[in-house]
Amino acid sequence: MENKTSLVKWLLLLLIAVQTGAFWNTRTRGIGIDFYQFWLPARYFAAVDSNQSIYTQEFRTQAGQWGVERAAQSDSEMFSKVAEFRKVLQTMGSPFLYAITGAIFPFSYETALLCFRILSVFCLLFAFWRMAVFWSLSTELILLILFCILYWFEPAYSDFRVGNLALIQLAFLIGFTEVYSRAATQRAQITTGVLLAALVLFKQNLLFIPLILIFWEVFNKNYKKLTHLGLGFASGVLGCALFSLFILHSFSSWLDWINIFGKEDVFSFSSDVTSGNFSLYTVFAATVGGAWFIPCAIALAAGSLFLCVKLAKARPDQGPTIAICLSPLLFIAFSPLAWIHYYVLLLPLLVYLFTQAHRSWIKVVALVPLVLISRNPLGIFFDTLPITTEAWLYAGSLLILFNLWFFDGLSALKMGTPLPPHSRRMGGTR
């Protein structure tokens, strides 16, 4: 029996190695149109003596034109193509995002994109390894799930092609959750707060993470831990601000970044599903009308709050698991903007439902949103799908996932099941 298990494990490892190679080869289908925008501002400031805000239209045009000129001087066809595509930048991310990307990848564009893609693949593999440790999953099971993701999961392919950040965020999200679960001392909790600040300021689609964790600690009266986390978070924000000042030469960029959300319609360029914006709000607004989203949003918010209150009282050590599963789901539902690669961040919830759900039927039904989100399995039956149909497949997957999470939480409360292995092993979050 042991020999058979070992054989299955090695077979799965071989399949994953082959499929990782196939995943890597898809890099030729994209020129990194998103990574270029993260990479260029720091390169511009390194070459040009300027302290202008990266959020002005003047900077977006000047930096874009500078990129075109630099590409023309190089012998890189990829650099020329992406610079031509991004003649005017769309700088909407935080200053920390542009500063850290420029600092980590201070190379020529092709070399920087190559390093970024290597990091993205590593982060995907790392995330599944740490999820296996976090939830004490068998090697064979996590390898099987990883193979399916590498083979089918279109959001991961999309993120890899355009050079966005979801695969990297996935790894740091799982890593942060482990650190948070282990943080028992004052120093560890302050450090965790610093990491949380960096995680949120890197990209704001994980904004619900600190909100859920704050709720959890307040509800369980962990005020001392919350104070340490707050000190760390404030230190992290200050550190990120100073770091971006050093790279981007402008402290006012933070105020400008905040102001653009009030002064500009930052989602106007991607306000409907035809551009690939598949947030639940946008799908409702673009198809049946935004008014229909209101009762859905109320139900999602009320259901989340109700179950969080119940679970916080009955199972106080489950804060990290709830945060990594629920936070991306809520963001994609409520945000006006959610590209397909944002759905990569739903992988912890999918893995949790497949492996930790308290009812067998939940584990089986969880295959439905996986297939809908992956999109590639549907290619067996359909060559192409109308964009509104595709949008509703993603929206439907979000609603199914929320209901599965909700019913699993109710089942946990009803069954009074023991805490998952990670809580016992790591000592919980208290």
Tell whether 69 is covered by a domain: yes
Comparing C-alpha atoms, which of 130, 117, 134 is closest to residue 39? Answer: 117
Q: Which residue, chain included where needed, has tokens 């874009």? A: 64
What would the two tokens of residue 378 be? Answer: 């549907």
Decide: 253 and 201 in contact? Cβ < 8 Å.
no
| pLDDT attached to residue 270 | 54
Q: Is the pTM of this model over 0.85?
A: yes
| First vs last C-alpha separation in the chain | 40
| pLDDT attached to residue 253 | 85
How many Å apart are CA 38 and CA 163, to the nearest integer?
9
| pLDDT attached to residue 424 | 44
| pLDDT attached to residue 185 | 93
Q: Which residue, chain included where needed, has tokens 């920390």? A: 96
The residue segments making up the domain with residue 216 are 33-426
Q: What residues form DSSP beta bridges with 375?
A: 153
Q: Which residue, chain included where needed, has tokens 């999820």? A: 131
Tell whether 259 is covered by a domain: yes
How many Å apart are CA 134 and CA 125, to the nearest integer?
14
How many Å apart are CA 430 and CA 428, to the nearest integer?
6
Tell whether 351 is covered by a domain: yes
Largest interatomic CA distance in the chain: 67
Tell whether 342 is covered by a domain: yes
How many Å apart are CA 282 and CA 291, to the nearest integer?
11
Tell whether 23 is covered by a domain: no
Tell whether 27 is covered by a domain: no
Tell whether 26 is covered by a domain: no
Comparing C-alpha atoms, which of 160, 159, 130 is closest to residue 142? Answer: 130
Give me the residues of the chain with pLDDT under 70, please.
1-2, 262-271, 377-383, 416-430
Tell whether 397 is covered by a domain: yes
User: What is the tally of structural domains in the chain?
Assistant: 1
Decide: 63 and 45 in contact? Cβ < 8 Å.
no
